[in-house]
Amino acid sequence: MEYIAGVDIGNSSTEVALVRNSDQYEFVASSLFQTTGLKGTVKNVPGVVNALERAAETADIAVDDIDRVLLNEAAPVIGDVAMETITETVITESTMIGHDPSTPGGNGLGTGTIVDIATKPEDHPDAESYIVVVSEEIDFAAAAETINDWADRGMDIQGAIVQKDDAVLINNRIDREIPIVDEVSRIEEIPLGQPAAVEVAAQGSGRTIDQLSNPYGLATLFDLSSEETQKIIPVSRALVGNKSAVVIKTPAGDVEERTIPAGSLTIIGEGGNSISVDIDQGADEIMEQVEGMWPIDDIRGERGSNIGGMLSRAREQMAEITGQAIEEINIRDVMAVDTLVPQAVEGSVASEHSMETAVGLAAMVKTSELPMQQIADELEDRLGIEVSIQGVEANMAILGSLTTPGTDVPFAILDMGGGSTDAAYINDGKEITSVHLAGAGDMVTMLIDSELGLDDREIAEGIKKYPVAKAETLFSIRHEDGTVTFLDEPVAAETFGQVVLLKGDGQLEPIGVDASVEKIRRTRRQAKEKVFVRNAKRALRQTTPTENIRYHSFVVMVGRSALDFEIPEMISDALAEYGIVCGRGNIRADIGPRNAVATGLCLSYVGSQSDLAGTIPDGLATEVGWTQLTGDGGS
């Protein structure tokens, strides 16, 4: 009897499958540890040791009892992601602004001429209605009293703009319901005597504002010409998804959307042709050129641009790992995604942000090989166990995925990891083609991070993995779909009113993010669609002899991004259009889409050890209790 461990070192995680082998074999453990260091370097060894220890513990043996460790011939690719902003909203002189404090007061839409609450009513310009400005010197009680007093004198006060965080306090003390936006830091810059509109969406309704975020809504309120309407589009766009906003029309107000040169990419095909594409032409154009040039020999970024910097960083990193010259390191794929990122607006009065267009980019760096033997040697030294490099990642993934009940050759797998989306297709003749494409889970996390302006990868990762809800009252939460769950215990004080992650264990984890549940959901789903649906299609096209996606009939999704609660469904839906049956893998009929490569490594060893055809072992069918594999080599 012997114990064999298959080890898959991925960009994100190191997975182990442990098998006990005698006349029959049996999988006795699976484990996982975060990959230490960059994939393919000796820094991976601690992570591997850790994952092996965990597997041994589960199987109730010592690591020493493991007789042989099998590493995969890891694909020599690493992924990297970056973001390039390509527009900038510049507000010249005075302007219209948008603002979204965390706790506005009141609700509804109000318009009117701006007046300072510290002035006398006699001094006010004649106007149909008014918006009052309350600077920090004015106490909330005094402000509320003045509003009530002015209203009694017949002034139609329709909204308030407040410097301190006092909106709710003022709202509680006035006789009429008006929208109040607070925390406007540079209130002195608000131009008195100008028309303004204030909008606050009904609290707890899960709604967002709908007039000020609509360019025609703004045009109606401010009586704008079509030319002016065009100009305020960046403003309305910045306000989409807000719970409150103020827009002020000022004399000579002007909002400009300026395009910043973002550099260009030069895509060099394997045939030697090359083409340049400007980043500011957007993701679709970039992807069209990439696909047009496929297969790609190298991609270069313009010197001095962000993109150029990112691509050369990736290249340098890879050169360092492999000890090869930088010139030998090629970028074989990029994935571009259009996105909008919040950026501080120049000339703002309340640190407003506007949504600037940007392009997110993931790159795939490829070298001739990774120094896997070094890892094997180091591991052998550390553990005193025989370590060998067993097989090519894509083949092992296919072999492991075939343990999913209901699968059979020919079929394709989509291995959706952190840095790359890999695909492999095995035909009737058991020949395997594979591709590694840039863009996967890490890119989704990056998009969520930047689009929501979080600047916190961990929170972004949480938002990617779990649904959100809002703790609306002490005893209830409202879900993404609008349904409400009542709780037995009150929520914690710091959770009340917050957007929370539903991690599935009944815990509500507040994330301290201002955006609404709807906005978070929309952002999250769009990021997943943009990256994974596009890459699934690309990958499947590249693994056919015809570049026609309909060539495929069966697709199995594996990799830990296939654990996602909505990605597999999005891909299945998209592929159903092509008549493709697509589902999440269930490795060894037991552990879901995880561990495919590690499992494949073990199977390739305990099965017959010739080519892949022979390595789809007879015994497998009886082991995991599914019907015999058809096809020549397997039965």
441 binds, among ligand ADP, Mg ion, none (CB under 5 to 8 A by kind): ligand ADP
Q: In this structure, what is the dihedral angle of CA atoms 261, 228, 128, 214, given to the nearest 10 degrees?
A: -70
Backbone dihedral angles phi then psi of residue 96, each to the nearest 5 degrees: -105, 140
Minimal distance in Å, beta carbon 390 to ligand ADP? 17
Binding of ligand ADP at residue 112 (CB under 6 A)?
Answer: no
Nearest position to Mg ion, beta carbon: 10
Which residue type occupies 519? K
Residue 340: alpha-carbon gap to chain centroid: 13
Minimal distance in Å, beta carbon 211 to ligand ADP? 37
Minimal distance in Å, beta carbon 472 to Mg ion? 40
Closest to ligand ADP by CB, 94 vs 401, is 401
| Residue closest to 114 by CA, chosen among 7, 250, 245, 210 | 250
CB under 6 A: which stretch of 8-16, 248-256, 326-334, 393-401 binds ligand ADP? Answer: 8-16
CB under 5 A: which stretch of 10-18, 200-208, 305-313, 482-490 binds Mg ion? Answer: 10-18
State which of residues 7, 9, 10, 595 lies at the interface with Mg ion (CB under 5 A): 10
User: Look-up: residue for tokens 């591991």?
Assistant: 379
Separation CA 632–CA 616 (nearest Å): 10
CB under 6 A: which stretch of 63-71, 254-262, 553-561, 576-584 binds ligand ADP? Answer: 553-561
CB atoms within 10 A of CB 623: 18
Closest to ligand ADP by CB, 106 vs 559, is 559
13 binds, among Mg ion, ligand ADP, none (CB under 5 to 8 A by kind): ligand ADP
Closest to ligand ADP by CB, 105 vs 418, is 418
Binding of ligand ADP at residue 559 (CB under 6 A)?
Answer: yes
Minimal distance in Å, beta carbon 597 to Mg ion? 6
CB under 6 A: which stretch of 60-68, 335-343, 412-420, 608-616 binds ligand ADP? Answer: 412-420
Question: Which two tokens mark 563?
Answer: 């654990």
Closest to ligand ADP by CB, 112 vs 568, is 568
State which of residues 215, 417, 585, 600 lies at the interface with Mg ion (CB under 5 A): 417
Binding of ligand ADP at residue 289 (CB under 6 A)?
Answer: no
Binding of ligand ADP at residue 249 (CB under 6 A)?
Answer: no
Binding of ligand ADP at residue 561 (CB under 6 A)?
Answer: yes
Binding of ligand ADP at residue 465 (CB under 6 A)?
Answer: yes
Cβ within 8 Å of residue 281, ≥6 positions away:
none
264 binds, among ligand ADP, Mg ion, none (CB under 5 to 8 A by kind): none
Cβ within 8 Å of residue 153, ≥6 positions away:
121
| Residue closest to 173 by CA, chosen among 151, 201, 204 | 151
Closest to ligand ADP by CB, 253 vs 417, is 417
Closest to Mg ion by CB, 417 vs 467, is 417
Closest to ligand ADP by CB, 247 vs 364, is 364
Q: Phi/psi zone of residue 10: left (φ > 0), alpha (ψ -120 to 50 degrees), beta?
A: beta
Number of residues interacting with ligand ADP: please give it, by CB under 6 A: 17
Question: Which two tokens mark 356?
Answer: 């600037």
Q: What is the strand order of the sheet 108-116 is part of?
A: 180-181, 157-162, 130-134, 108-116, 195-200, 244-248
- C-beta of residue 430 within 8 angstroms of C-beta of residue 422: no
Minimal distance in Å, beta carbon 458 to Mg ion? 21
- C-beta of residue 106 within 8 angstroms of C-beta of residue 180: yes
Q: Are strands 130-134 and 157-162 parallel, antiparallel or unpaired?
A: parallel
CB under 5 A: which stretch of 16-24, 224-232, 412-420, 564-572 binds Mg ion? Answer: 412-420
254 binds, among Mg ion, ligand ADP, none (CB under 5 to 8 A by kind): none
Separation CA 517–CA 293 (nearest Å): 40
Backbone dihedral angles phi then psi of residue 314, each to the nearest 5 degrees: -60, -40
Closest to Mg ion by CB, 14 vs 523, is 14
CB under 6 A: which stretch of 57-65, 293-301, 357-365, 559-567 binds ligand ADP? Answer: 559-567
User: Look-up: residue for tokens 């017949």?
Assistant: 154
CB under 6 A: which stretch of 11-19, 267-275, 383-391, 519-527 binds ligand ADP? Answer: 11-19
| Residue closest to 161 by CA, chosen among 176, 140, 183 | 183
DSSP structure string for 347-388: T-SS--EEEEEEEEEEEEEE-S---HHHHHHHHHHHH-SEEE
Closest to Mg ion by CB, 104 vs 417, is 417
Separation CA 539–CA 618 (nearest Å): 30
Separation CA 422–CA 128 (nearest Å): 64
Binding of ligand ADP at residue 417 (CB under 6 A)?
Answer: yes
Binding of ligand ADP at residue 30 (CB under 6 A)?
Answer: no
Binding of ligand ADP at residue 391 (CB under 6 A)?
Answer: no
Closest to ligand ADP by CB, 248 vs 334, is 334
Site string for ligand ADP, 421-450 (x = CB under 6 A): --------------------xx--------
Whether residue 295 is preceded by a cis peptide bond, meaning omega within 30 degrees of 0, is yes
Binding of ligand ADP at residue 13 (CB under 6 A)?
Answer: yes
Separation CA 75–CA 64 (nearest Å): 28
Binding of ligand ADP at residue 418 (CB under 6 A)?
Answer: yes
Closest to ligand ADP by CB, 186 vs 503, is 503
CB under 6 A: which stretch of 200-208, 229-237, 292-300, 411-419 binds ligand ADP? Answer: 411-419
Minimal distance in Å, beta carbon 585 to ligand ADP? 11
Q: What is the strand order of the sheet 330-344 is part of?
A: 77-85, 353-366, 330-344
Cβ within 8 Å of residue 343, ≥6 positions away:
85, 88, 89, 353, 354, 355, 356
CA–CA distances in Å: residue 77 to residues 6, 290, 372, 422: 20, 18, 13, 10
Binding of ligand ADP at residue 560 (CB under 6 A)?
Answer: yes
Number of residues interacting with Mg ion: please give it, by CB under 5 A: 2
CA–CA distances in Å: residue 585 to residues 30, 568, 592: 16, 10, 6
Binding of ligand ADP at residue 110 (CB under 6 A)?
Answer: no
Minimal distance in Å, beta carbon 47 to ligand ADP? 10
560 binds, among Mg ion, ligand ADP, none (CB under 5 to 8 A by kind): ligand ADP
Closest to ligand ADP by CB, 29 vs 143, is 29
Binding site for ligand ADP (CB under 6 A): 10-13, 35, 417-419, 441-442, 461, 465, 559-561, 563-564
Binding site for Mg ion (CB under 5 A): 10, 417
